[in-house]
Homo-oligomer: A and B are copies of this chain.
């Protein structure tokens, strides 16, 4: 079922490869265009003809790589990978600057585009449980986890009193939740001011850090 990578390049059934080779360079292009379209319209309104038109590839070529639309979207999801902050947690010295570092991360093209892509993935998640699981496990959970780890490290550093540790799990959700909600209700672009306000007016005060 999961036919993401048809020929492995080695150990083919008959012949390693004779004939014209796969144009691997096109794959990234197709997956990126799929994500872009998903960010623009909802999952159900993205057609494979759209993807073909935008990439200049033939629809049949796309189907030669991914058997179904769901497979394509799944592969596009997987192509995102995890946020770089998972591998290397930002360490700017203070909790506030650490949070801003995650907000300002260029991952997925920066905050504005990142939010919109998340919204697109969210619409896709409603269409298939497999897709939903993949998005949750590979994208949203690791991302929220970055915030969680940053908050916990602030406790370790003594920046936050340890008795507030129980609030960390729910507070780690605040920035993603607020920005997703803002994006989906107010339709337009989200400015950096909004993220700053969430941090300064919600998150940090909830940790007793702001000037109450």
Q: How many residues of A contact B (CB 8 A)?
A: 41
Verify B201–A202 contact, CB threshold 8 A: no
Complex Cα–Cα for A144 and B174 (A): 17
Q: Report A32 CB to chain B, min CB distance, Å.
A: 22
A177-B178, A202-B206 known; 17 new pairs, CB 8 Å cut-off, are A42-B123, A44-B44, A44-B45, A45-B127, A122-B184, A136-B186, A161-B212, A166-B201, A167-B205, A171-B201, A174-B178, A177-B181, A178-B178, A180-B181, A201-B206, A205-B206, A206-B210
**Which chain A residues have a beta carbon within 8 Å of chain B's beta carbons?**
41-42, 44-45, 122-123, 125-127, 132, 136, 140, 161, 164, 166-167, 170-171, 173-174, 176-178, 180-182, 184-187, 197-198, 201-203, 205-208, 210, 212
What residues of chain B lie closer than 8 Å to A136, measured between beta carbons? 185-186
Q: Which of B140, B198, B203, B212 contacts A185 (CB 8 A)?
A: B140
